[in-house]
């Protein structure tokens, strides 16, 4: 039995114009970070003149502690985008610490797809799993049987969507009003779909895997 999951932690230093403090704080808040300290950097000319620091023109040093996985998920591009390219950063990996992480499995037609599995923080796992199955529903081709798409943590299903079955008109060539024959045809079609669902393999297009990667980067 797994008693604890640990993740790598780093100390992050960001240097940016002080006018961007607000957007940087918003970004860090969304990345499970812990604020350590912040310091404004006074320019040499201002020090010599002995005037008060103009924070609109100064730069700021901000220090945080944050999980390494948050840095890997498109963090640098987000930082540059929100600060118009003016921010720089440096980091040092500090070790590991316990974290409430869970494995989210994606099942297609009740079969787990390991390539789509994710290790996520418990707080975002349900919302992320729901987003993934909703996206996959529009990407997986329709079959002659219904295809359930599920996100699960262990044995607990946290989200589900269904790709509706293609409907084949088996009565198209059945003329006349023979109700018994029509009923037999429909029952035969229903039984055939049931067998297909039990043994059918669903092909997952490459775009589905790329979509999940994009969702992971946006989270």
Contact 215, 124 (CB under 8 A): no
The pLDDT of residue 197:
46
Q: Take residue 96 and report the two structure tokens written for it.
A: 């590991």
Residue 170: the pLDDT is 46
C-beta separation of 148 from 110 below 8 A: yes
Is residue 146 in some structural domain?
yes
CATH number, domain with residue 106: 3.30.70.2570
Host domain of residue 60 = 6-98
Between CA 7 and CA 9 the distance in angstroms is: 6
Provide the pLDDT for residue 188: 65
Which CATH number covers residue 31?
3.30.70.240
Task: Assess if residue 176 is contained within a domain.
Answer: no
55 lies in some domain: yes
- What pLDDT was estimated at residue 115? 86
Q: What pLDDT shows up at residue 25?
A: 97
The three-state secondary structure class of 165 is: coil
């Amino acid at each position: 039995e797994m008693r604890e999951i640990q993740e790598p932690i780093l100390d992050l230093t960001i240097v940016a114009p002080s006018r961007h403090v607000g957007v940087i704080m918003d970004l860090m808040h969304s990345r499970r970070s812990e604020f350590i300290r912040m310091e404004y950097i006074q320019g040499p000319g201002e020090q010599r003149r002995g005037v008060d620091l103009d924070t609109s023109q100064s730069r700021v040093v901000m220090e945080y502690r944050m999980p390494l996985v948050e840095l890997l998920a498109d963090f640098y591009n987000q930082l540059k985008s929100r600060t118009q390219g003016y921010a720089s950063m440096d980091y040092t990996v500090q070790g590991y610490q316990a974290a409430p992480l869970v494995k989210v499995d994606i099942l297609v037609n009740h079969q787990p797809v390991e390539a789509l599995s994710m290790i996520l923080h418990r707080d975002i796992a349900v919302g992320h799993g729901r987003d993934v199955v909703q996206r996959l529903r529009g990407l997986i081709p329709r079959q002659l049987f219904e295809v359930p798409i599920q996100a699960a943590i262990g044995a607990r299903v946290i989200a589900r969507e269904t790709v509706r079955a293609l409907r084949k008109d088996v009565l198209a060539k059945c003329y006349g009003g023979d109700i018994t024959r029509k009923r037999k045809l429909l029952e035969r079609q229903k039984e055939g779909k049931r067998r297909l669902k039990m043994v059918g393999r669903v092909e997952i297009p490459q775009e589905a895997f790329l979509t999940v990667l994009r969702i992971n980067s946006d989270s």
